[in-house]
Amino acid sequence: ERYPKNPILKPSLKNDWEAKAVFNAGALYENKKIHLFYRAMSHDNTSTIGYVNSTNGFVIKEKFDQPVYKPRKDFENKKVAGGNSGCEDARLTRIGDTIYMTYTAFNGIDAPRVALTTISFDDFTKKNWNWSEPILISQPNLDDKDAAIFPKKINGKFVVLHRPNSESILIDFLDDLDFKNGKYLNGTVLMSPRPENRDNKKIGINGPPIETKDGWLLLYHGLSKSDGKYHLWSALLDLKDPTKVIARSKHPIFEAEMLYEKSGIVKNVVFSNGAILKGDTLFVYYGGADKVLGVATIKISKLIKDLKK
């Protein structure tokens, strides 16, 4: 269910960098706080990443007045005046003492690609935003988005989901995340659109999968051919072999219904790239109409029970 006081974050007129839109937030739950890394847009359509945190998951407790991450490299710096560019839709994963952040890097000319940067858990805790130099990890000349890293290694390998040039979600297993010597993301198809369902046009993941006793819970967005709307869906992957899809929702679990989801910069969009589990409650953070940030919650036990029906 939606938080009644949504949206929890709106564009800020006092800060140019977030004056047009604040939406699509990556999420981490650490040190008893929910940390949100949201996409901010300025009026010249540059995307940067802002930071807020919350103790209860609904009310913003702390907010930074400057972006905590901004474009630094040629592949994400603006090439066309006024055109879209920058760092979009961050997804964050902690493995050990490292926090990995994948995001969509776009300069306005080249195909959008997946970029990866890291920060030490220590720097993150102290809010020293000392991110590593970003590297492109998806293949050149391919439009690749919606990438995230599983929160733990499986059989000694890093597991990455992404969506290159197609309407399907791919899964890739990697020995390391260095991407040296011309190595890029690849993989095999994990899930595709279903012709008979409302996720029949294209699909892409939300945030990184969440480990539960029943399997990896993967929330994803599905686009419908009939109305062009983004809906949220769910799937369950096998814990030991995440290439196996155990269950997939037959109906969307969430769709645009409120005014702030239906009207904004892009109509009828609910798009999530971050969710966290606190006790039995799943907090799903989502962009409404590409303009504001909202949160909705569901009991994970209910979600999984419905999935397995």
What pLDDT was estimated at residue 166? Answer: 85
pLDDT digits (tens, 9 = 90+) for 26-41: 999 999 999 999 999 9
Residues 79 and 73: beta-carbon distance below 8 Å:
no
What pLDDT was estimated at residue 266? Answer: 95
User: Which stretch of DSSP H or E encloses residue 26?
Assistant: strand 21-30
What pLDDT was estimated at residue 227? Answer: 86
Report the amino acid identity of residue 9.
L
Which domains are present in the chain?
16-308 (2.115.10.20)
Residues in the chain, pLDDT under 70? none
| 74 CB-contact burial (10 Å; exposed 0-12 / middle 13-18 / buried 19+) | exposed
What pLDDT was estimated at residue 158? Answer: 99
Total residues belonging to the chain? 309
Report the amino acid identity of residue 181.
N
What pLDDT was estimated at residue 2? Answer: 98
Q: Is the dihedral of CA 41, 42, 48, 53 positive or negative?
A: negative
